[in-house]
Amino acid sequence: MLNKNPYTWIGLGLLISGIFLSVAAYFIFLTTWLVAMGIAMVILAFILLVLARTVSWLSPEVSSLLLETGTENIAALVEELGIKSKAIYLPSSLTGGRPQALLPLHTNSSPLNIDQALPHRLIVKYGPNPDDTGLLVTTTGTTAVGMLETMPGPAPAEIEIALTHLFTGLLNIADGAKVSGNNDHIQVEIRNPRIENKINWHEQCFGGTLSSTAASIVAEALNKPVTISTEKHDKGKCSIELEVLY
Amino acid sequence: MRIYNTYIIIVAILLLMTTVILAATNQQSLGIYYTAYVIEALVVTELFIYFNKKARRGLGLVSIVLFSGFLIIAFLEIFNLVV
């Protein structure tokens, strides 16, 4: 069955008209450039038909619906518990599987020092004090990290390539990313983001979708916990500053 | 899909420009037209490194088909020269 997206229909249209044009130009009109034009249309048709097979069957509306449902549920939980602390993005080595975000339940808990992988539970204890308890949740970055073929190294240039590949090639939500920084702070600049940030409780704890995804990738690349210090949205640019915790 | 659209538009413009330029220079060899198209398509595909794995695999297949066509043309040209 044909994947009924615009690429398929345009590809088929170009394929049929390209073949007709080439044959007619070669045998009837006897014009070389017109035959070549038909061949160019056939080449474009092949490219379109191949790309049509890689486009998701899910409409953007359904994807948005699923994302919003997930975040709304977490937002309701966070709001109900009255958590005001910022999420700490942990690499997979500290969660025993895939990178996740730890949301401390108390703002006055001791500085983070996790030396072994946290258990696979929603509510986890991450330190010796009674207040060192938090929610260990899956974020968009958790899934996004799994989409990368190879994990980037700790160098800013490697993280930049990974983020650009993810945001531009895989998710198509921005035009590129620029990463700079040192051991303690990482600055990420995302060009032309096409995803809106909502100002609500969830975003204040976890950051926006782009920041959250970038933080997970950076945490995984550095193999260290990171948190979002600042997040600014200017015209066609999203600037994020990440703090590396230890 | 924005990256797909950019890629397709760039390839389409390049192919069209090549046709116009070669037609303006009164080029009568179809092999020249085809070789130029293949080179352009291969170069642009290589420049779009941020495509996902599935798209890259598919475009790799298209590149192989186009390159095979180029090899056939090259073989025929050599054959004509020798014979």
pLDDT in tens, A108-132: 666 677 878 888 888 888 888 888 8
The per-residue pLDDT of chain A, averaged, comes to 87
Whether residue A3 is predicted with pLDDT greater than 60 in this model: the reply is no
For CA atoms A144, A152, A212, B6, the dihedral sign is negative
Whether residue A107 is predicted with pLDDT greater than 70 in this model: the reply is yes
Instruction: Name the pLDDT band for A61 (thresholds 50, 70, 90).
Output: confident
Smallest CA–CA distance, residue B83 to chain A, in Å, is: 24
Give me the long-range contacts of A63-72 (CB less than 8 A, separation at least 24).
A67/A140, A67/A209, A71/A202
- If one counts every other C-beta atom within 10 angstroms of the C-beta of residue B83, the result is 5
Distance between CA A211 and CA A144 in Å, rounded? Answer: 12
pLDDT (average), residues A148-170: 90
End-to-end CA distance of chain A: 53
Q: Give residue for tokens 């895939």.
A: A98
Per-residue model confidence (pLDDT) at position A227: 92
The per-residue pLDDT of chain B, averaged, comes to 91
Distance between CA A63 and CA A6 in Å, rounded? Answer: 19
Q: How far is CA A61 from CA A15, A25, A65, A217, in A?
A: 30, 44, 6, 26
Q: Do B58 and A44 touch (CB under 8 A)?
A: no
Q: Do B12 and A44 touch (CB under 8 A)?
A: yes
**Which of B28, B51, B61, B66 to substitute to test the interface with A, most A CBs within 10 Å?**
B51
DSSP string, A124-136: EE-SSSTT-EEEE
B47 touches A: beta carbon within 8 Å? no
Whether residue A100 is predicted with pLDDT greater than 60 in this model: the reply is yes
Distance between CA A179 and CA A91 in Å, rounded? Answer: 18
B34 touches A: beta carbon within 8 Å? yes
CB A213 within 8 A of CB A195: no
ipTM of the complex: 0.93
Distance between CA A96 and CA A84 in Å, rounded? Answer: 26
Per-residue model confidence (pLDDT) at position A246: 73
pTM of this prediction?
Answer: 0.76
From the number of C-beta atoms within 10 Å of its C-beta (0-12, 13-18, 19+), residue A229 rates as middle
Q: How far is CA A229 from CA A86, A94, A215, A243, in A?
A: 9, 21, 10, 6
Per-residue model confidence (pLDDT) at position A80: 87
**Which of A31, A33, A192 to substitute to test the interface with B, most B CBs within 10 Å?**
A33
For CA atoms A182, A183, A184, A190, the dihedral sign is positive
Distance between CA A86 and CA A107 in Å, rounded? Answer: 9
Q: Is A111 left (phi over 0), alpha (psi -120 to 50) or beta?
A: beta
B21 touches A: beta carbon within 8 Å? no
CB A15 within 8 A of CB A45: yes
